[in-house]
Amino acid sequence: MTRGLTFRPHHFLCALGYRGKGYSDGFTANMTAIVTNGLMANGGDHTLIRVRKAADSLCAPCPKRRDEGCTNQAEIDALDARHAAALDLHNGQVLTWGQAKMRIRQRVQPDDLDTLCSGCKWLELGLCKTALADLHRGA
């Protein structure tokens, strides 16, 4: 794979639950371009994504980004570790968005997010649980 999408482990579920909200206008525009206009568009299931242990395609314009890390790096590392274990993801691994969704459906239930995403400010909005429930229903 040449240049393409990269995701930290926890961003697979963030992408699934994304509903137009973000940390800043630039971050939201980037997420919308990648997720709504890319992964969720026709043919998006074939998009290749490389797992990355550092700042990724979604992090690019984030106001919390600091070089390859984040202002709250310890929290992000903990999120990534829990998500990598739950989804059996490894640094450098490449999978399609369709394969990622299948893996999420097989390995994660909506209530699992209470533990997997503990500490995430977006969890309380319920968007990710709803998206995951929809994925399980085949919606």
The pLDDT tens digits of the residues spanning 56-91 come to: 999 988 888 888 888 888 999 999 999 999 999 999
pLDDT for res 77:
93
pLDDT for res 2:
38
Annotated domain spans of the chain: 5-134
Rounded to two decimals, the pTM is: 0.92
pLDDT for res 76:
92
pLDDT for res 3:
56
Match 């997010």 to its residue by tokens.
113
pLDDT for res 21:
85
Which of the residues in the chain have pLDDT under 50? 1-2
